[in-house]
Amino acid sequence: MKLRFKNILLLAVALLMTTTACDEGFGELNTNPNAANEINPKFQFTFIQLRTSGERYENWRASLIYSSMMMQHMAALCSYWTGDKYTYNAGYASSLFDRQYEQAVRDMQDLIVTLESGEAGDQTMLGMARIWRVVIFHRLTDLYGDVPYFEAGKGFLEGVDRPTFDAQEAIYMDMLNELEQAVAQLGEGGFEEADLIYGGNVDQWRRFGNSMMLRLGMRLSEVNASEAQKWVEKAIQGGTLQPGDDAFIEHTNGPEGINMNGIGEVLDLANGSAGENCPRISETFINWMKDHNDPRLTVIASPAVNTGEFTGLPNGLDNTTILDNPTGTDIEDFSRVNQAIVRVSSPMMFMTVAEAELLQAEAAVRGWGASDAAGHYANGVRAAMKRWEVYDASLAISDADIDAYLAANPFDSGDAMRQIGEQYWAATFLNEYETFANWRRTGYPELTPVNYPGNVTGGTIPVRLVLPQGELSVNPNMQAALNNQSLGTDFATHMTIPVWWDR
C-alpha cells in the first residue's frame, strides 16, 4: 500500500507542477491555472497534503530554527539559528504564514468549493477536506493568533484580495464545529489512494477528526474550561486514534522538493550541501532522557563524534561562549539527531496515537469524559516509543524495555499534569508546532529560559511567532488584528504577547 501511495504522490505532483508551470499568460484569459475545476480533486488533495507538510523553507525557519529551539529540543551555535537566543528575524518568523497562505490555504479553498458544488465527488471527500483544512488553520492561528480565516483563499473565486483577520476565539469555535460536521459527513467513498495519510480509510479519518477535536478542545482548557470540557467529551465519545492510526505522510527522496520531508531536507546530511551541520539535540532534552533512563535516547540522538557519548548542547550559546562550556567546547562534542529519523524520505507526523492517549490521560485527571488516567498515560508512553518503528524498523523499542521504563516511571496522580506534559513534549519531537502549542497551554516541561545578549523578549521564552510586516502595507485589515491583540508597531515585541487561548 505504501508503494502505491508513493506512486500516487509522484503522479499528482507531476500533474500539478505542470499546471502551475503553465501559469504565464493565463491572467489575460481570466482563468486560474490552479482552479479546482481544472484539476482532478483527488490529485489536488494529494498536493494540498504535501503543501501542508511543507518544504525546506518553512520547516527550516518556523519549525526548526524557531519552534524546536525555543522548546529546547534542539540547540545550535550558528548565528542564524536564532530561536533559542530569542532574537527576531522577520522572514524566519513569518515563514509558515507566507507559505501556507499562498499554497495550501488557496488550493484548499478551491477544492472545498468544487466539492460543495457536487461536480466532483461525494460527501466523504468533502468531510476529509474539511478536517484537513482544520489541520492547516489550527497551526497558523496557534503560531500567529488572529489570522485570515473566513475569507482566506477567496481571492480568485470571490475577489477577496484583502481578507479580514479573524479573532482566534472565533476561528477556534468554527474549527471545532467544522470537525464535528465533517466527521458526521464521512461515509462511503473518499479520496482512496490519493489520500497520503490513510489511503482513504474512512474509519481512520473519523478517529483522526475526533482526535483533532480532542486536541483543539483541550487547547481551550485555560481560557474557557466549560467549552473545553464540552468538546473534549464529544471527541472521546466519538472515538480517537488507535494503534496503527498515526497520521503521517511517508515522503520520498524526490524528484521535486515537495516530495521530500522538509525537516529531512535540512537535517539529512546525505542531502548534499543542503544538509545542516549546525543543530544538535539540546542538553535539556538529552538530560531529561538520561534522567529517566529513556530507551528513546539512542533512537532520537547519535553519540557525539568526538567522545562517543550522548551529550546535549546547552541552549543559548554561540561559537564564542561555547569555549567556556564545561561539557564541551567543539560542536562535535555534542549529539546530533539520529540520521535514521531525519531522512528526506522520512515520515512527517501530524498527530499520533501517543498524543491522543496523553490528552485523554489529562482529560481523566480533569474529570472530562475519560477514566483511568494511569492507563491512558501508559498507553501514551508506549505509543510514543513505538512511533519510531515507522521511520526505520531498526529503531523498534522492545515491549520489555517499555515495560521497564513504565515500571521505573509510574504514573503519579499527585504529579499528573507535569508527567503528562513532559511526556507530550517528548512524544511530539519533530512535530515542533504542536510541542510549542502544548507547552504554552500547560507550562510543561518547566524550561529554563536563556538571556542571550540582544534578545527581544527580556530573557523570556517567546509565546508566538510574528505576522509578516509586509502584509500591513498590502492589507489594511491587518491593523485591526494588531490592535485586537495589543500588538504594537515594533513587530519584534510581538513575540512576548500570548495568543488568545494562552492568556
Residue 231 domain flag? yes
pLDDT in tens, 187-246: 999 999 999 999 999 999 999 999 999 999 999 999 999 999 999 999 999 999 999 999
Question: Domain of 69?
Answer: 2-251+450-502
What Cα–Cα distance (Å) separates residue 462 from each residue in 71, 313, 449?
Answer: 10, 20, 10
Report the number of distinct structural domains present in the chain.
Answer: 1
Indicate if the pLDDT at residue 322 is higher than 90. Answer: yes
Residue 384 domain flag? no
Indicate if the pLDDT at residue 6 is higher than 60. Answer: no
pLDDT tier at 20, thresholds 50, 70, 90: very low
pLDDT tier at 23, thresholds 50, 70, 90: very low
pLDDT in tens, 334-357: 999 999 999 999 999 999 999 999
Residue 436 domain flag? no
Contact residues for 12 (Cβ-Cβ < 8 A; gap 6+): 42, 43, 44, 46, 47, 194
Contact residues for 419 (Cβ-Cβ < 8 A; gap 6+): 377, 411, 412
pLDDT tier at 101, thresholds 50, 70, 90: very high
Instruction: Give me the mean pLDDT over the 36-57 stretch.
Output: 90
109, 154 Cβ separation under 8 angstroms: yes
Residue 264 domain flag? no
Contact residues for 255 (Cβ-Cβ < 8 A; gap 6+): 10
Contact residues for 67 (Cβ-Cβ < 8 A; gap 6+): 83, 432, 433, 435, 436
Q: What is the CATH classification number for the domain harbouring 46?
A: 1.25.40.390
Indicate if the pLDDT at residue 274 is higher than 70. Answer: no
Indicate if the pLDDT at residue 22 is higher than 50. Answer: no
Residue 351 domain flag? no
Specify the pLDDT at position 12.
54
pLDDT tier at 116, thresholds 50, 70, 90: very high
CA geometry: angle at 16 spanning 12 and 20, to 5°?
170
What's the pTM value of the predicted model, to 2 decimals? Answer: 0.93
Residue 383 domain flag? no
Between residues 372 and 1, which one has the greater pLDDT? 372
Residue 342 domain flag? no
Tell me which residue has cell 518568523.
Answer: 93
Quote the percentage of the chain above a pLDDT of 70: 91
- Identity at 97, one-letter amino acid code: F
Specify the pLDDT at position 36.
40
Indicate if the pLDDT at residue 304 is higher than 80. Answer: yes
Residue 226 domain flag? yes
pLDDT tier at 257, thresholds 50, 70, 90: confident
pLDDT in tens, 429-442: 999 999 999 999 99
Instruction: Give me the mean pLDDT over the 46-72 stretch.
Output: 98
pLDDT tier at 31, thresholds 50, 70, 90: very low
Instruction: Give me the mean pLDDT over the 76-94 stretch.
Output: 97
Tell me which residue has cell 508551470.
Answer: 21
98, 142 Cβ separation under 8 angstroms: no
What are the residues facing 75 on neighbouring strands? 280
